[in-house]
Amino acid sequence: MKDYLQQSVWRFWDQSVSGKGRSPLESFAADDTLCQLVGQGLSPATIRTWVHDQSVVLGIQDHRLPHVQEGMALLKDRGFKPIVRNSGGLAVVLDPGVLNISMVLSEKEEKIDINTGYDIMVSLIKRLFPKVADKIEAYEIVGSYCPGSYDLSINGKKFAGISQRRLRQGIAVQIYLCIEGSGVERAKLVRDFYDISLQGAETKFKYPDIKPEVMASLNELVDETLTVQQTTIDLQSLLVTLSDEVKMGTLQEDEMELYTFYLKRVLDRNQSMLSKR
What letter represents residue 115's amino acid? N
134 pLDDT tier (thresholds 50, 70, 90): very high
- Gap between the Cα atoms of 62 and 71, Å rounded: 10
| Residue 1 confidence (pLDDT) above 70 | no
Question: pLDDT digits over 108-126, tens only?
Answer: 888 999 999 999 999 999 9
Per-residue confidence (pLDDT) for residue 111, from 0 to 100? 93
| Residue 277 confidence (pLDDT) above 60 | no
Pick the CATH number of 7-275 from 3.30.930.10, 2.30.40.10, 3.40.50.150, 3.20.20.370: 3.30.930.10
Paired sense of beta strands 81-84 and 55-58, if any = parallel
DSSP H or E stretch at residue 83:
strand 81-84
Phi-psi region of 262 (alpha: psi -120 to 50; beta: other; left: phi over 0): alpha
Paired sense of beta strands 7-15 and 46-50, if any = parallel
Which one from 25, 83, 146, 238 is the annotated catalytic residue? 146
Other Cβ atoms closer than 10 A to 21: 8
Choice among 72-76, 151-155, 249-253 with the minimum mean pLDDT = 249-253
Contact 183, 97 (CB under 8 A): no
Q: What is the mean pLDDT of residues 80-95?
A: 88
Q: What is the mean pLDDT of residues 186-196?
A: 98
192 pLDDT tier (thresholds 50, 70, 90): very high
| Residue 219 confidence (pLDDT) above 90 | yes
Contact 119, 1 (CB under 8 A): yes
- Gap between the Cα atoms of 160 and 92, Å rounded: 10
DSSP for 111-146 reads ---HHHHHHHHHHHHHHHSGGGGGGEEES--TTSSS
Predicted model pTM: 0.95
Query: Would residue 35 show up in a list of annotated catalytic residues for this protein?
Result: no
